[in-house]
């Protein structure tokens, strides 16, 4: 280990930045998060630095940096041209002042790592200058695991330290208290909730003088459930909050189409329960899924119900929410990228166009009774984009219904099979050829059907329910 990681106290610290361009601005962005007094040495400033100067966030020295005027500073960042940076390096060495030189690791005696900032919680990732891009990628992974609220949790914990020290007499008792308190941090609990739970626990301890009962707060009888949207495919489409929930889960109840890369994010010692539903085959019923959720939550466990896409869009989340409300189990919903959005993005297909497509309607082509009984006439309107989930089997009936109420057979369609997955296929055609395209290309679920509705001039005989073409000239 050439570079020893260390945290430097920036309170009452003065920092000099040499240079007035983009490299200097990059250093300033990070330093502005500290309480340090910052002075920039430059003959001119770029727009960002000038804005900071006008807002009294930095001092500006237009004179040339010398050994004399750099001596008062605790840290120096050199972000100028190569010649000036070398001059500043020589001055810093004589002054024995810690120096960082942009893109010149051999001149540095300290480096700034990639930083995950959740102050006062911070994580520093360094590669000793060998692979800064890799360090930034690692930073992105860690960003996904740490909520933006975790810093507030640390601050609230600090405010409780004197109470904890007063109520718990031994190190082991205090450690047990903090272990129990922080177990909810990575499950999405807010700082306010964690703080209130701590106050409740401490309040209960005030009523007892028996220190043997202070070893740890009692576990609650019921757990917590997260309904998590996994998106339509690989793990890089997960939200940060979804990844945190998977990392903290005791049990994960997951669907058939969940991508393997998503399952790899789950905590290794978490138990997994498969409840996939395969069309046309015996599968886990929704009642059984609800029972799994309730049984695990009633054990006091952290449960993740992992669904493809977004749980609130054709994910039957409403039924699971009702079951949890009835059982008085706390839950949260973590939205995911729904299949229509992700598949359309992968195929470079806009779902709305300002002048031409101004309405977006999500439909399911399948219900327990077969084709969902819609009022199809309300959809056969120019400027409407229909997004059909689970519509492959019912495509002939969907096609017939839309044509029967006046949708033009020339309406453009796109069929995206296995969107965002390996082997994804996209087909474009017209509404009049929807059934033929599915049959000819052997398209199967999962697939999304997009229909950009055009309207034909028609009159409908209500008795025969047939489309009669009308000559526009008449």
Whether 277 is catalytic is: yes
Pairing of strands 75-78, 99-101: parallel
Whether 410 is catalytic is: no
**SS3 state of residue 138:** helix
CB crowding 388-400: b at 16 or more within 10 Å, else e: bbbbbbbbeebbe
Place of tokens 């601005």: 25
Residue 266 vs residues 75, 242, 350, 358: alpha-carbon distances, Å: 42, 10, 33, 39
Helix axes 171-182, 150-167, angle to 10 degrees: 150
**How many other CB atoms are there within 10 angstroms of residue 60's CB atom?**
16
Q: Looking at residue 231, what DSSP letter applies?
A: B
In 277-424, DSSP assigns E strands to: 302-307, 330-334, 359-364, 384-389, 412-417
Which strands make up the sheet holding 330-334, listed edge to edge? 271-274, 251-254, 302-307, 224-229, 330-334
Closest Cα to residue 109, out of 94, 88, 93, 124? Answer: 93
Residue 473 vs residues 410, 430, 457: alpha-carbon distances, Å: 20, 25, 11
Cα separation, 330 vs 345, in Å, equals 34
On the CB side of 404, how many CA atoms lie within 13 Å of its CA?
A: 14
* Residue 447 and residue 392 in contact, taking contact as beta carbons nearer than 8 Å: yes
Pair of tokens at residue 392: 């492959």
* Catalytic member of 156, 277, 393, 397: 277
* Residue 225 and residue 297 in contact, taking contact as beta carbons nearer than 8 Å: yes
Would you say how long the chain is, in residues? 474
Rounded to 10 degrees, what is the CA torsion of 365, 368, 372, 373?
Answer: 170
* Catalytic member of 201, 250, 255, 310: 255
Cα separation, 36 vs 11, in Å, equals 6
Active site residues: 255, 277
């Amino acid at each position: 280990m050439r570079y020893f990681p260390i945290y430097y106290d920036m309170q009452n610290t003065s920092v000099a930045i040499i240079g007035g361009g983009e490299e200097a601005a990059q250093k300033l962005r990070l330093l502005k998060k500290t309480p340090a007094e910052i002075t920039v040495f430059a003959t001119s400033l770029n727009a960002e630095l000038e804005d900071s100067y006008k807002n009294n966030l930095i001092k500006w020295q237009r004179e040339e940096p010398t050994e004399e005027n750099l001596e008062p500073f605790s840290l120096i960042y050199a972000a100028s041209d190569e010649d000036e940076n070398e001059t500043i390096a020589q001055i810093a060495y004589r002054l024995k002042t810690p120096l960082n030189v942009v893109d010149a690791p051999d001149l540095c005696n300290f480096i700034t790592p990639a930083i995950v900032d959740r102050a006062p919680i911070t994580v520093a990732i360094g590669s000793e200058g060998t692979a800064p891009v890799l360090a930034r990628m690692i930073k992105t992974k860690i960003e996904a695991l740490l909520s933006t609220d975790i810093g507030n949790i640390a601050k609230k914990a600090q405010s409780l330290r004197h109470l904890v020290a007063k109520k718990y007499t031994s190190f082991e008792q205090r450690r047990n208290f903090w272990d129990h308190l922080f177990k909810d941090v990575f499950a999405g609990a807010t700082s306010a909730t964690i703080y209130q739970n701590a106050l409740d626990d401490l309040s209960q301890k005030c009523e007892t003088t028996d220190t043997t009962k202070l070893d740890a707060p009692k576990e609650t009888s019921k757990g917590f459930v997260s309904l998590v949207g996994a998106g339509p495919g690989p793990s890089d489409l997960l939200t940060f909050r979804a990844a945190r929930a998977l990392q903290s889960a005791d049990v994960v109840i997951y669907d058939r189409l969940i991508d393997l890369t998503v399952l790899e994010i789950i905590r290794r010692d978490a138990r997994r329960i498969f409840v996939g539903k395969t069309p046309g085959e015996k599968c886990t019923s929704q009642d059984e899924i609800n029972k799994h959720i309730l049984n695990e939550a009633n054990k006091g466990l952290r449960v993740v119900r992992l669904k493809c896409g977004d749980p609130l869009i054709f994910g039957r989340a409403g039924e699971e929410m009702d079951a949890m409300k009835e059982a008085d189990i706390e839950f949260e919903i973590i939205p995911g990228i729904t299949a229509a959005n992700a598949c359309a993005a992968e195929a470079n297909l806009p779902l709305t166009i300002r002048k031409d497509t101004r309405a977006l309607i999500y439909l399911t082509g399948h219900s327990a009774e077969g084709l969902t009984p819609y009022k199809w006439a309300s959809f056969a309107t120019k400027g409407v984009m229909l997004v059909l989930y689970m519509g492959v089997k019912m495509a002939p009936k969907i096609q017939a219904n839309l044509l029967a109420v006046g949708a033009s057979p020339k309406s453009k369609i796109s069929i995206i099979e296995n969107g965002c997955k390996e082997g994804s296929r996209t087909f474009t055609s017209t509404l009049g050829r929807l059934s033929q395209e599915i049959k000819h290309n052997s398209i199967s679920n999962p697939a999304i059907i997009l229909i950009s509705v055009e309207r034909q001039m028609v009159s409908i005989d209500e008795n025969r329910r047939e489309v009669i073409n009308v000559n526009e000239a008449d």
